[in-house]
Structure 1
Amino acid sequence: MIFLCFLGLGAAQADPITLDDFVDADPAQARIGQLLFYDKILSGNRNISCGTCHHHDLAGGDGLSLGIGEGGIGLGEERFVGDIRKRIPRNAPGLWNIGHNSVDVLFHDGRLEVSDQFGNGFDSPAEEWLPHGLDNIVAAQALFPLTAQFEMAGNPGENDIAGATHDRIDAAWPIVAARVRANETYVNLFLEAFDTVEEPLDISIVEVGNALAAFITTEWRSYDSPYDAWLTGTPLPESAERGRALFFGEARCASCHSGPLFTDQSFHALGLPAFGPGRTRTFDKMPRDVGRMGETDLLSDAYRFRTPSLRNVALTAPYGHNGAYPTLADMIRHHADPVSTRAAWTTDMAALPNAPRFRGVDFAIRQDTREMARQAAVLDIHPVALSDAEVADLEAFLNALTGATADDRPMGRPDSVPSGLPVD
């Protein structure tokens, strides 16, 4: 099917997604990955898993604007802050379709890319220390939350993983792998599923990453939405059809949300309201997030973030790299008029579990008039006049990107894990 974008960009081709569009994954490895994904044995203090912030009950996310990582208790909006030092500075992205063959960059700032720069297949924060043998970009991505202090590693002095990470990013991964090797159940599963594993010592962080990727890339596939049915001839509901025409036409959404996953995988400044602890850097301790610039150090990349996929977007609120907006309608209105909606934004729109000791930090950056002016000056989207009815139609179309079986995952959450630790 061909859609005219009316953007001076030519026609945008939308092709149906098929199983052949995804990376291959071995089912036995995916079974190991499912267990590891929910096993807190991978975290420094054995108190958080990948699934805590990417949970099945929350459509692969955590339902929060900014997550509560290591040290928190519970799930989603009910997650108790507990003994943590800061909130996670960015929204937990959904995992839908990241195993699609077109995906070559991940994280909000794109700090992980498919690349030959370091001889291991990826340009990543680990640079030449990222191990060889990772099957795909998802396998590489799975390794980095394990080394993040406020996500899964914990604080220096609390455990050996946190201490090793602060020595060098790759120093923690052998410790994680050793924990897995010490569990007889995991050893037997790896021996059976991996040709590279002939004895327990062969289980390295590479096999752990590949198992996690086998699970993630199969578990979160979704391409059976009403839109997919429309691609093969089934009409959309009237409101969604009007929204589709707007999306690919006068609303100009497809200028960035293009292709089968509805993302150009590029970086754009949306002028979202700022809040949270910021993603601070060694030489920049201000509680701000400079986006892509944090990876490239190019001023031209300041405040630009990766375009998210819109598949199953209706299931993954709140929206934006910092979860600034609680509803799709709010996010659509921001795209249509970013200056006015940014000015009208109120702090109660952020989904942040109550943490009295963070009150002085959560919104401190908003008091810095110069920083707010810098952020407001960088904007890559242009106003589009939309009526309330048109916003509703666009929202209807975005809902039509929800897979019919999105709530029915092939493996789901395990009831228990080999470590015996509790499963969130």
Structure 2
Amino acid sequence: MTSDDFITVDPAQAKLGQLLFYDRILSGNRNIACSTCHHPDLGTADGLSLGIGEGGEGLGPHRTAGVGDDRIRKRIPRNAPGLWNLGARELHTMFHDGRLSVADTYENGFNSPAEEWLPEGLDNLLAAQAIFPLVAQFEMAGNPKENEVAGAVHNRIDYAWPILTDRVRHIPAYAEGFAGAFPHIDTATDITIADIANALSAFMIWEWTSFDSPFDAHLAGHPSALTEAEKQGMALFYGKADCATCHAGPLMTDQKFHALGLPPFGPGRTRRFDPMVRDVGRMGESDALEDAYAFKTPMLRNVALTAPYGHNGAYPTLEGIVRHHLAPLEMLDAWTRDMANLPDVPWLSGIDFMVWQDRLEMARLRAAVPMTNIQMSDAEVTQIVAFLGALTGETARDGPLGIPASVPSGLPVDGRITP
């Protein structure tokens, strides 16, 4: 990969997006930022299997579920993905279930949960993605009757974005920043949610585009960039282990959906009016039975930084998720609940593993797995894990902009995470 494979970014817009990414002003109750669940110290994720969103306290593995009336009402149903290389020009689908994609389904360039109400003026797929967590109840918006953003969302999704935009417009530093970074903006009243999303997109592309790993150096003609174990792991990855069938091409993903039979837990992500605690994956978006329990193939650069693994963070280590790919149903049977990194939430504990009590649901999940076992020795698994470690960029831990000391709203900023 080279810089030509990625969307070109305006540095002034990226700097503005950095402030917005770390500013809690974009959440309904002004208590959570994008950075809370996508922190650079945790590989742009949060280190949890299922995140603690709006109402929680703290960061990463130390985050708690809050107290009193402000405490969380639900875990985030899926694992917070890393943000690496989301500005790649080839990328056409986002989210674990692919509910956002480049398409002309609604004559606005995207197939998205906002359907025909998606705002105009979004520069790219990542910008379109950036506005959805802002209006998600359990992620950033908050609960109905708590704030005007959450209330608006429950009328219609696009009613909330102007409220957030108005907050940003009334902060002089943001008004000045947008006027300086976007040629079409002269005054604060010209700022739209699309401009906010485009700034966020510019920052994420600028900050987390990564193709300087030992693997990339090897591809560029430097065979000494990889150790012997990493080279052996690469040979297995592209050969006997059959990983590259799905983790294909420059992005190391086919951008398709596959049923792996990962151990289920959490509140699930169901279709509207579905009474069951479950996550049917892509089928929830497509309504196609062949998509049941299938999830999008993730990109792999910097994967060693983004534990835990799987669409729900079922495995704490790369070794665990590799072994699951090799023998899905055996690993499903061997999996134990303590492998899930779930902060203690006593009032939700009855839901966390409820799906395991549903014999028919578990049978359906198992039946959807088409894969056959691939026999690998322990040494070979170790070599594959070594190769995955060689996908970590040399500069991945040092973003060019980093964490700002403060943000224009004056709200607290998510700082560094201590081990």
Task: Please confirm whether the aligned pair reaches a TM-score higher than 0.5, indicating the same fold.
Answer: yes
Q: Please list, as runs of the form range in 1=range in 2, the aligned pairs for 1:5-404 lying within 5 A after superposition.
A: 17-82=1-66, 83-235=71-223, 236-404=226-394
CA–CA distance in structure 2, aligned partners of residues 145 and 385 of structure 1: 40
The 2-side partners of 1:99 and 1:72 are apart by 29
Whichever residue aligns with residue 78 of structure 1, its letter is H
Q: CA deviation at 1:280?
A: 2.6
In the alignment, the residues of structure 2 paired with residue 228 and residue 31 of structure 1 have an alpha-carbon distance, to the nearest angstrom, of 27
Distance change >3 Å, CA 143–CA 283, structure 1 → 2: same
Q: C-alpha distance in 1, partners of 2:26/2:270?
A: 25
Q: Give the secondary structure class of the aligned counterpart of 1:305.
A: strand
SS in 1 for 2:261: coil
Q: Distance in 1 between matches of 2:345 and 2:7?
A: 41
- Give the deviation of 1:260 after TM superposition: 0.9
Rounded Cα–Cα distance in structure 2 between residues aligned with 1:111 and 1:300: 16
Q: After the TM superposition, which segments of 4 or more aligned residues of structure 1 sit over 3 Å from their partners? A: none
Amino acid in structure 2 at the alignment position of 1:169: I
Q: Which moved more, 1:99-108 or 1:281-290?
A: 281-290
DSSP-derived class of the 2:154 partner: helix
The amino acid of 2:56's aligned partner reads G
Name 2:417's counterpart in structure 1: none
TM-score by length of 1: 0.95
Q: 1:374-404, CA deviations, whole angstroms, 9 ceiling, x for partnerless residues? A: 0000013321001100000000000011101
Report the AA paired with residue 378 of structure 1.
A
Q: Deviations over 1:1-44 (max 9, x none)?
A: xxxxxxxxxxxxxxxx1111101111101111000001000000
For the residues of structure 2 that align with 1:380 and 1:283, how far apart are their CA atoms?
28
Distance 1:394 1:223 in 2: 19
Superposed displacement of residue 408, structure 1: 1.0
Deviations along 1:291-311, whole A, 9 cap, x unmatched? Answer: 001111111111000000011
Q: 1:3 matched to which residue of 2?
A: none
Q: Deviations over 1:256-279 (max 9, x none)?
A: 000112100000001000100101
Following superposition, the deviation at residue 233 of structure 1 comes to 2.0
CA distance in 2, matches of 1:91, 1:207: 27
- What's the % identity of the aligned pairs? 64
TM-score when normalising by structure 2: 0.96
Amino acid at match of 1:369: R
Deviates more, 1:375-384 or 1:98-107: 375-384
1:422 aligns with 2:412: yes
Structure 1 counterpart SS, 2:101: strand
Unaligned runs of 5+ in 2: 415-419
State the shift of 1:246 in Å. Answer: 0.5
Amino acid paired to 1:386: M
**Unaligned residue ranges in structure 1 (runs of 5+):** 1-16
Q: Distance in 2 between matches of 1:361 and 1:222?
A: 38
Q: What RMSD over aligned residues (CA atoms) do the two structures have, in Å? A: 0.7
SS of equivalent to 1:167? coil
Residue 314 of structure 1 aligns to which amino acid in structure 2? A
In structure 1, what is the Cα distance between the partners aligned to 2:10 and 2:108?
22
Quote how far apart the aligned CAs of 1:132 are. 1.5
SS in 2 for 1:163: helix
The one-letter amino acid paired with 1:308 is P
| In structure 2, C-alpha distance between the alignment counterparts of 1:187 and 1:89, rounded to whole Å | 35
Amino acid at match of 2:260: L
2: CA distance, partners of 1:287 / 1:72: 22
Deviation per CA, 1:309-364: give whole Å up to 9, x if none.
01100000000000000000001110111111100100000011111111101111
Q: The residue matched to 2:280 in structure 1 has which SS?
A: coil
Distance in structure 1 (CA, Å) of the matches to 2:386 and 2:148: 49
